[in-house]
Amino acid sequence: MTKRKWMIKNGTFAVLQNEKPVLRGYMVIEDDLITYIGEEQPKVEENMEIIDGTHLFFMPGLMNTHGHTAMSLLRGYGDDLALQVWLQEKMWPMEAKFTADDVYWGTSLSVIEMLKGGTTTFLDMYDHMDQVAAVTEQSGMRGVLTRGVIGLCPPDVQNHKLKEATAFAKDWHGKADGRITTMISPHAPYTCPPDYIEKFVQTAYDLDLPIHTHMSETVTEVEQNVRDYGLRPVAHLQKLGVFSRPALVAHAVHLTDEEIEILATHKVAVSHNPGSNLKLASGVARVPELLKAGVTVSLGTDGPASNNNLDMFEEMRLAALIHKGVSGDPTAVPAVESLRMGTEYGAKSLFLDGVGTLAPGMKADFIALNTDQAHFLPHTDFISHAVYSASAKDVEHVWVDGKQVVKNGICLTLDEEKIRREAQSAFERLLTL
Amino acid sequence: MTKRKWMIKNGTFAVLQNEKPVLRGYMVIEDDLITYIGEEQPKVEENMEIIDGTHLFFMPGLMNTHGHTAMSLLRGYGDDLALQVWLQEKMWPMEAKFTADDVYWGTSLSVIEMLKGGTTTFLDMYDHMDQVAAVTEQSGMRGVLTRGVIGLCPPDVQNHKLKEATAFAKDWHGKADGRITTMISPHAPYTCPPDYIEKFVQTAYDLDLPIHTHMSETVTEVEQNVRDYGLRPVAHLQKLGVFSRPALVAHAVHLTDEEIEILATHKVAVSHNPGSNLKLASGVARVPELLKAGVTVSLGTDGPASNNNLDMFEEMRLAALIHKGVSGDPTAVPAVESLRMGTEYGAKSLFLDGVGTLAPGMKADFIALNTDQAHFLPHTDFISHAVYSASAKDVEHVWVDGKQVVKNGICLTLDEEKIRREAQSAFERLLTL
């Protein structure tokens, strides 16, 4: 088969890994890979399609490293409530009624929002994961998928759930032309007994997969961990072997200096979810200290019911803003660091090689922002504009694995109108049950 | 002259002042006023234009109560720097070079961003205010304009500046069909000697105008005030008579309980600027306590060089999010309160009667959001969606004083392409000086 080879000319590109993080020039894509990026114009070959990038800013696709995307069906259904009221009276009763179909449409609604907003890779931890995988496959998006298991149930149910999680991880890892990878996920230390978590660690060894879990999101759960197991969550998970695997923990809001050290030593990655942590009043994670200690920190939206959107530009902006305001240091988390958290460090957190930067040999997962807009002027510093001024809706085009999935703001792979209709119906049906 | 009378049918309307803050139904507009809003269909008169509002959410126009809009020319020119470095090495040297033309194009750039993003009223405190007034008049926007005066200069320069500020306030108050009102603005207690501030108070009495000033933005300036005058800024301004006038203070980040009391007693309004306060690492204002004490708190973007956009949806979201995260209370600043801060309380802060809510007899300053979008689904709670999920770019139509100024996302009153070109040239020229 002939390779498809095409070139962007006169573009402005984010090359955050370089000393000069913005480059004006050319990028060549061959099938699913970037093969050239630089200031010099490469040789134009016969039949090479050339796209003019004059009014576009090209960035690596954004990587959303923690979420429960089907919860979009509950967006706006209960806000501004105390955490336990929100969970016990709003989320859990509704989620208990979710069918495979609901997960399909809820995930589709989220995937279309994410793709149009420039997110090219998402991690999803939920139930009915076959549905999530099906949507991922159809959409052309890259997905790191994992059945999140709550273990507060009798042993036979525990075993059934673990088997289901294992089968899913095994069946789907490497599928959809390699766009789908999987992880192993005990939900959290406070929802899984220690011996159950150890079984997940064993499974992760058996399948050679990374582990993903919630950790230290609230003060309450940290205190409960100490009460129940005599240890704070980090030492507890370390003891259970979780950090002997490649591991990504979500939230990590409440950490001691010693815990930050342990995460750094074991190369545990952290998915920082600023929007959700603020909205649920969980607190402000110690991101500057984590970064200083060498921990890989990436960004996640969490579920759309606690955010309430999936705009990763907003998470990058929050990450760049709140740590300045809270620490009193205006140099905390500069724009370029925040953009790396949303891209390169995201890839690292998800244990994905070959995505997250624009460089030769990397997968062609990238997005283009329209720079001809009032809030991107003057054309001073596109890194600053992308972090401090942009939003999801500034994204014009999106490519994943070399294929265009969003063009002029329209998703090419999914039927948006149908998805919006079906998601609304699904929510209305859930209300009647 | 015949009145223009038209109706929106099947719309969803934010009526935040009512017990039920969302209404589905009809709104009638006659010239510059709303004359009906309700669930019942009013009588359709001959020649009455009818607009279908089925897929639109109508809200009062947003009110940006503090800013320096011409600073859009410096957007992205210096971020992530210590405050004094940013001011002394980046902002002040460039601003010193600003000509009237620069202010004209910088303001135009900001006004077009604000209008397209659903802001119908803005406060501007800057220099070359005749230019700002000219842009306001042309754009159809509502503006509360004030020459911000720094008084660290010899008496003759002080006098000249005061005269200029007075003349501007007198000449433009009530102009542009009443869309322009003015205020009197000593820049801040730390940039104006006490006797100079007293002259501004006298001027405010003479012209019967409100006072606007910066106050207690940083810890440093509060400490300096105590050192220089033996009082914290609130007591200092109170002593100088500032609060004997209708007054709006910007920032008010660092306040004691006693200071909050004084502001409440004197009905001093506060313009909360969460984005700018975070970005400049000034801190987090005590908004829940201010609201609880009965202080009118509204929202402002501050200048676009410290934000870096003029998206008031983002300020509403930040106001609803950060106070939850910092206080640990998920019920702090609920969505509906944040939306009122962005609209109704904005009008109150600016001492404008007849704008800020959708109700009969109010000015027809309102906006329409397109609800047929993934991030507005399901259609659970549009107040929640507007605060937690929306952004400037969800705004489809904007009306000010009954006249449409944005239609399908395009500004009808200003030439956007020309403004973008001129703003870029102005910035490039400033760089060469």
CA-only gyration radius of chain A, Å: 21
Is A375's CB within 8 Å of B113's CB? yes
A426 within some domain:
no
* Whether B324 contacts chain A with CB within 8 A: yes
Total count of residues recorded for chain B? 433
Best residue of A87, A114, A314, A389 to probe chain B, by most B CBs closer than 10 Å:
A389
Interstrand relation of A269-272 and B62-64 (parallel, antiparallel or unpaired): unpaired
Question: Are residues A216 and A337 located together in one domain of the fold?
Answer: yes
- Which CATH number characterizes residue B363's domain? 2.30.40.10
Selecting from B375, B391, B427 the residue whose C-beta is nearest the C-beta of A113 gives B375
CB distance A400 to A141 below 8 Å: yes
Rounded to a whole number of angstroms, the distance from the CA of B49 to the nearest CA of chain A is 29
Query: Which of 389-418 (A) contact B at CB < 8 A?
Result: 389, 391-394, 416
Look at residue A102 in the predicted model and tell me its pLDDT: 98
Q: Cα A383 to chain center, whole Å?
A: 20
Question: Are residues A273 and A242 located together in one domain of the fold?
Answer: yes
Question: Are residues A104 and A168 located together in one domain of the fold?
Answer: yes
- pLDDT tens-digit profile of B335-359? 999 999 999 999 999 999 999 999 9
Which helix (H) or strand (E) element contains residue A247? strand A247-251
B176 within some domain:
yes
Look at residue A16 in the predicted model and tell me its pLDDT: 96
- pLDDT tens-digit profile of B13-56? 999 999 999 999 999 999 999 999 999 999 999 889 999 999 99
* Whether A303 contacts chain B with CB within 8 A: no
Cα(A368)–Cα(A117) distance, integer angstroms: 10
Average pLDDT over residues A148-157: 97
B310 within some domain:
yes
Selecting from A76, A112, A275 the residue whose C-beta is nearest the C-beta of B385 gives A76
Question: Are residues A125 and A155 located together in one domain of the fold?
Answer: yes
Nearest to residue A119, comparing CAs of A318, A355, A295, A332?
A355
pLDDT band of B3, cuts 50, 70, 90: confident
Question: Are residues B97 and B180 located together in one domain of the fold?
Answer: yes
A78 within some domain:
yes
* Whether A340 contacts chain B with CB within 8 A: no
Look at residue B1 in the predicted model and tell me its pLDDT: 57
Question: Are residues B249 and B331 located together in one domain of the fold?
Answer: yes
Question: Are residues B15 and B160 located together in one domain of the fold?
Answer: no
Look at residue B84 in the predicted model and tell me its pLDDT: 83
CB distance A365 to A64 below 8 Å: no
Question: Are residues A241 and A376 located together in one domain of the fold?
Answer: no
List b or e across A155-169, with b for residues whose CB sees 16 or more CB atoms inside 10 angstroms. eeebeebbeebbebb
Q: Which domain holds residue B373?
A: 5-61+355-411
Look at residue A46 in the predicted model and tell me its pLDDT: 87
Question: Are residues A50 and A144 located together in one domain of the fold?
Answer: no
B146 within some domain:
yes
* Whether A57 contacts chain B with CB within 8 A: no
Torsion angles phi and psi, residue A354, rounded to 5: 80, 10
What's chain A's average pLDDT? 97
- Which CATH number characterizes residue B282's domain? 3.20.20.140
Average pLDDT over residues A195-209: 98
Question: Are residues A158 and A12 located together in one domain of the fold?
Answer: no
Question: Are residues A296 and A319 located together in one domain of the fold?
Answer: yes
Nearest to residue B411, comparing CAs of B396, B426, B394, B428?
B396
| β-bridge partners, B270 | B249, B297
What's chain B's average pLDDT? 97
Look at residue A3 in the predicted model and tell me its pLDDT: 81
Torsion angles phi and psi, residue A87, rounded to 5: -70, -55
Look at residue B47 in the predicted model and tell me its pLDDT: 87
Listed in sequence order, the DSSP H helices in A117-154 are: 129-139
Q: Cα B163 to chain center, whole Å?
A: 25
Instruction: State yes or no: ipTM above 0.85.
Output: yes
* Whether A45 contacts chain B with CB within 8 A: no
What sign does the dihedral A16-A20-A26-A30 (CA atoms) show?
negative
- pLDDT tens-digit profile of B209-245? 999 999 999 999 999 999 999 999 999 999 999 999 9
pLDDT of A2 > 80? The answer is no
Q: Cα B88 to chain center, whole Å?
A: 26
* Whether B431 contacts chain A with CB within 8 A: no
DSSP-assigned letters across all residues of A339-406 = HHHHTHHHHHHTT-TT-SS-STTSB--EEEEE--SGGG-S-S-HHHIIIII--GGGEEEEEETTEEEE
- pLDDT tens-digit profile of A306-331? 999 999 999 999 999 999 999 999 99
Total count of residues recorded for chain A? 433
Is A279's CB within 8 Å of B388's CB? yes
Indicate the annotated binding residues of B for Zn(2+).
66, 68, 214, 302
Best residue of A302, A308, A383, A420 to probe chain B, by most B CBs closer than 10 Å:
A308
Helices B312-327, A312-327: crossing angle, 10 deg rounding: 50
B427 within some domain:
no
Query: Which of 218-237 (B) contact A at CB < 8 A?
Result: 219
Least confident range from A80-84, A123-127, A292-296, A356-360: namely A80-84
Question: Strand runs (DSSP E) across A1-48, as ranges?
Answer: 5-14, 22-30, 33-38
Cα(A76)–Cα(B289) distance, integer angstroms: 26
A429 within some domain:
no
B428 within some domain:
no
Question: Are residues B389 and B286 located together in one domain of the fold?
Answer: no
Distances, alpha carbon B252 to alpha carbons B214, B287, B338, in Å:
8, 9, 17
Q: What is the DSSP letter of A431?
A: H
Domain count for chain A: 2
pLDDT of A1 > 70? The answer is no
Cα(B235)–Cα(B257) distance, integer angstroms: 13
Q: Which residues are CB-neighbours of B166 under 8 A, at least 6 positions away? A: B184, B203, B206, B207
pLDDT band of A295, cuts 50, 70, 90: very high
Residues of B in contact with A277 (CB under 8 A): 325
